[in-house]
Structure 1
Amino acid sequence: MIWLALLGAVIVGLSLGLLGSGGSILTVPLLVYVVGQPEKVAIAGSLAVVGGIALAGAIPSALRGGVDWRSVGWFGVPGMAGTVLGAHLSRWIAGDVQLLLFAVVMIVAAWRMAKSAPVADTGAASRSRAWVVVDGLGVGLLTGLVGVGGGFLIVPALVLLGGLPMHRAIATSLWIIALNAFSGFGKHLFVLDAAGLALDWRLLGLFTGVGAVGSVVGQKLASRLPQALLRRSFAALLVVMGLYIVGRELPALFTS
């Protein structure tokens, strides 16, 4: 099972490198259903993994000058605050309920990725910074609550609200994902400690390292592969996984 999980880590990294999103949407189900971790441990661990993988992909983008640091500040700082708040609220939500919320997020993400009209790569004029801040706060809250990095929301927001071209939005989103993920992870450590739960640091290290390699490879492949086909294929995978989680967790919720 560990090798299957590491194969999943490669896919997580490729997703982040190719699309700027999809990391923790895959990581949480892998840790729960393949590795067998409790829901809350998997959600916390996914933030560490996705933060590390996103950072590995974000550093080369920054060295190439592809990151819009102003957007990182406007979107990322409110996102960090939202993530800490979401992680704090998660202590009062049962793990199976978190997974059901997670499944809903997966299906919404699939819908956004499968839309026939992609986000325009135009670099349109920037809209109100207030909306960027509000969106960053909302994505951060979702990140802390159910453990998603939020790239599927961040990239369109950076294009439509921040006025960034698509390739620059993807590079910028990796930094925002990393900031949000590490902020939420720090808070989740206290939540796990209070619940008497512990992380498997060796597994997280392996998962992050393998995924980081996948992220770098994904960035190199991004300009050579058809993005529309990738997004639709990934969306189909998300729908299948989301429905699987609902099928697993919903009956247990009513029988518990």
Structure 2
Amino acid sequence: MSTLEIFGFGASILIGVSLGLIGGGGSILTLPVLVYLLHLNPVTSTAYSLFIVGSTSLVGSFTYMRKELVNYQAAIVFAIPSFVAVYLTRKYLVPSIPSSLFTVGGFEFTKNVAIMVFFALVMLAASYSMIKDKKEAKGNDSEELKFNYPLIALEGGVVGILTGIVGAGGGFLIIPALVLLARLPMKMAVGTSLLIIAAKSLIGFVGDMSNMQVDWPFLLEFTALSVVGIFVGTYMSKYIPGEKLKKSFGWFVLVMGVYIIAKELMFS
């Protein structure tokens, strides 16, 4: 096993730690690790990312379920359009994208480059969401929760398409939607987000299974390490302020996003 592969498998634990600490960010790490450290094809990597992040999030959501910090009504309203969007995207949209999109000045903009650049743009949006100071709309546990069904469902569909294209769980979009539109308390939003991420990611992966050969030994080994990480992250969350950690992670994501864009467009 090469040094890069050792770092790649080590990074799988960090993916779980991220999900356990801040309820998101796992997919932001997963795709670059699979592509740049383990040298997998970007299309295959987005599929594997769905399984890894989905399985890890599912395990993490059990902790919140036991504490009754998952709102199933909000999860269903958000998840149904998201399920449909991610499945259709992985089943039909991604396979239909041509291998070569266009050529400019001798540079061929391929499907793989397009996926990585689009993912980097998602990373930049995620980093802004994590870094900026914002006034949280805090839900009240004693209030009757009122849902803005159309907006929640619409964002569910948008996040589903995003998940399908780049293998991103979309926690950085789901959590604000649940806090602002469903008025959930932050901890309940994180728990509900993990359940939504798990379900839609795994459904998206099912849409891929007929389009590719899955290396199950590798995928299960990587996922198992990520699951270990989410237990570590959940434990650490008791001692590390979530907002401070989220900002630090946001700056890391920003640097990674810029690096990916530069590597794919300037140095490839």
* TM-score computed with the length of structure 2 as normaliser: 0.88
Q: Which moved more, 1:98-107 or 1:59-68?
A: 59-68
Unaligned stretches of 5+ residues in structure 1: 193-197
Tell me the SS of whatever aligns to 1:107: helix
Q: Which structure has more helix as a fraction of its residues? A: 1
Deviations 1:153-198 (A, max 9, x none): 0011010011100000001101100011011111122333xxxxx3
Tell me the SS of whatever aligns to 2:182: coil
Structure 2 matches for 1:176-191, cutoff 5 A?
A: 176-191=196-211
- The answer for the alignment partner of 1:143 in structure 2 is 163
Structure 2 matches for 1:123-142, cutoff 5 A?
A: 123=140, 126-142=146-162
2:138 and 2:183 in contact (8 A); partners too: no
Cα 1:119–1:10 shift into 2, 3 Å = farther
Unaligned stretches of 5+ residues in structure 2: 98-110
- The sequence identity of aligned pairs, in percent, is 36
Match of 2:12 among 6, 9, 12: 9
**Equivalent-residue separation in structure 2 for 1:33 and 1:136 (angstroms):** 30
- The answer for the alignment partner of 1:195 in structure 2 is none
Asked if 1:106 is matched to 2:123, the reply is yes
Shift of the alpha carbon at 1:236?
Answer: 1.1
2:16 and 2:233 in contact (8 A); partners too: yes
Tell me the SS of whatever aligns to 1:8: helix
**Equivalent-residue separation in structure 2 for 1:249 and 1:6 (angstroms):** 23
Match of 1:119 among 126, 130, 136: 136
Shift of the alpha carbon at 1:222?
Answer: 1.8
Shift of the alpha carbon at 1:252?
Answer: 7.1
- The answer for the alignment partner of 1:250 in structure 2 is 265
Asked if 1:90 is matched to 2:94, the reply is yes
- The answer for the alignment partner of 2:100 in structure 1 is none
- The answer for the alignment partner of 1:211 in structure 2 is 226
Match of 1:163 among 169, 176, 183: 183
Moved over 4 A (4+): none
Tell me the SS of whatever aligns to 2:139: coil
2:117 and 2:264 in contact (8 A); partners too: yes
Deviations 1:38-73 (A, max 9, x none): 111111000010011001101122122111111111
**Equivalent-residue separation in structure 2 for 1:153 and 1:134 (angstroms):** 12
Structure 2 matches for 1:38-77, cutoff 5 A?
A: 38-77=41-80
Q: Which moved more, 1:111-120 or 1:21-30?
A: 111-120
Tell me the SS of whatever aligns to 1:106: helix
**Equivalent-residue separation in structure 2 for 1:217 and 1:64 (angstroms):** 18
- The answer for the alignment partner of 2:22 in structure 1 is 19
**Equivalent-residue separation in structure 2 for 1:191 and 1:119 (angstroms):** 42
**RMSD value, Cα:** 1.6
- Report how many aligned residue pairs link the two structures: 248
